[in-house]
Amino acid sequence: MGWTKETIHAIVEKQREFFLSGKTLDVSFRLKMLDALYDGLKSHGKDVEDAISKDLGRHPLESYFCDVGATLTEISEIRSHLKKWAKPDRKFSGLKCFPSIWTRIYKLPYGVTLVISPFNFPIYLSLVVVATSLAGGNTVILKTSSKSSACTEVLKTIIHETFPEEYVTLVDGGHDIADLCLEERFDKIFYTGSPKVGVHVMEMAAKHLTPVALELGGETGNWCVVRKDADLKDAARKIAFFKLMNSGQICININQIAVASEVADAFLQELKAAFIKQIGESAIDNPEYPRLISASAFEKCKSEAEEYKDRIVFGGKGDAEKLRFEPTIIYPIRIDEPVVQHELFNPLLPVVPYEDSRIDELMDTINRREHGLALYVFTKNKKWAKKVMATQQYGGGCVNEVCLHLMVKGAPFNGTGHSGMGSYHGIWGFREFTHQSTVLFGSNHFNLPMREHPYSGKSGEKKRKLLNLFLR
């Protein structure tokens, strides 16, 4: 279907009418639709894996781990708890509200929502957000990335077979189509992508005062800090695994490493060995190694590697036809160089040496930059690690591990500042896609006159005493 301003407006209005019918308020209806989405994805699992391979060159096992299986797990989590989450909370109103004793907090859907998903995890970052919005009782228009066209076609099939278009619709196309969507008045927008486009989404949403949730990669990238007391072999193994995943095209991936100069040489040897052990001597020729999403992404990676070619200590080669670029270690890099002051989103891995005795200066410099979506530290000093993770500003992270914080059930995920706003996963996503509405139930018996005129004279003095008793 060729999307136009008119057809997009028509589907928005159709969804608004469906929402206003009240059908999505029924929790049993939402659960039925989540069951259908779960079954639809599961039945098309092989098609999804094939599509991801076509778009990104990922091995089916990696695609299942990162997209299919992870999405099914998230939908299962939502289904298991939705009845409890959606149930209104009851609170004691407090003496100041006497005789109105009870207050209810209703979890109300926003209405018609727009979900804009990226190319790097085209299934997970589409369907998890869609499922979360549906759990909240909303309708959804899903705008997928034009870069992952094979995955978009599979998503079209799943959504068309599972939902009526007045409930969930997939809109495909480029940035022009996304802008046509953003011109419409939605009740909630969830965007995943770059900070630059995130600013544009907020500007467009502001015209309608539409609330926005953003999951962004972070302007200056995610740091990994390896202290001199770290288990270097363990750190290298985990970092290599993560940087190989999706060829570095992950919003929470390690953008740069800061390693204590005292152990830098030993760490680099371990990191090189870990890359070779996991992907072989030539990543380019390994069919399990994912590719970059486009020719422009490949050229951008190649061009930046060329700028630092005299400091490449591992990798550095690419194949334009295969769109593969080797995991590439660049060392040494100063903390003020351009390559560590922007998000890379590719397999380049700059390494910044620092003196371990000056760790506080390093963390201060990192904290003064735009906040990353993730922060990773490797150290045996748990006391220091806990202090750092409790005082830095970042989205989420790990101590002596990478990426797995994303998969913790019931825990919130997202960034802060240039790495995002809002949060989702589990109950946090349900809260993101619902408005918490406080409703006090009044009484027509035993109402005290202390809030009413007159406020002066003896009557006022009595009211003051009562207020002093209740309002504290």
**Residue 215 known to be catalytic:** yes
Strands (DSSP E) along 62-181, which ranges?
Answer: 89-92, 102-109, 112-116, 139-143, 168-171
Strands 324-325 and 318-319, by their bridges, are: antiparallel
Q: Is there a contact between 132 and 78 (Cβ–Cβ < 8 Å)?
A: yes
Please identify which residue in the block is written with the tokens 């406020």: 455
Strand partners, 397: 375
Q: State whether residue 188 is helix, strand or coil.
A: strand
**Host H or E run for residue 398:** strand 396-399
**Annotated catalytic residue: which of 66, 181, 251, 301?**
251
Residue 429: closest CA among 176, 194, 215:
215
Question: Is the peptide bond between 332 and the residue preceding it cis, with omega within 30 degrees of 0?
Answer: yes
CA quadruple 150, 7, 158, 143: dihedral positive or negative?
positive
Token digits of residue 312: 């490449």
Give the span between the Cα atoms of 137 and 386, in whole angstroms. Answer: 38
Token digits of residue 27: 């929790």
**Counting beta carbons within 10 angstroms of the beta carbon of residue 4, is it exposed (0 to 12), middle (13 to 18) or buried (19 or more)?**
exposed
**Host H or E run for residue 430:** helix 427-432
Q: State whether residue 87 is helix, strand or coil.
A: coil
Please identify which residue in the block is written with the tokens 């591990």: 401
Give the span between the Cα atoms of 43 and 55, in whole angstroms. Answer: 20
Q: According to DSSP H, which parts of 245-315 are helical?
A: 264-279, 295-307
> Measuring CA to CA, how many Å separate 276 from each of 45, 63, 240, 257?
30, 22, 9, 19
**Residue 151 known to be catalytic:** no
> Measuring CA to CA, how many Å separate 14 from each of 8, 242, 306, 451, 466?
10, 43, 51, 46, 53
Q: How many helices (H) and strands (E) does the chain have?
A: 16, 18
Q: Is there a contact between 337 and 255 (Cβ–Cβ < 8 Å)?
A: no
**Annotated catalytic residue: which of 74, 77, 215, 219?**
215
Cite the active site residues.
Answer: 215, 251
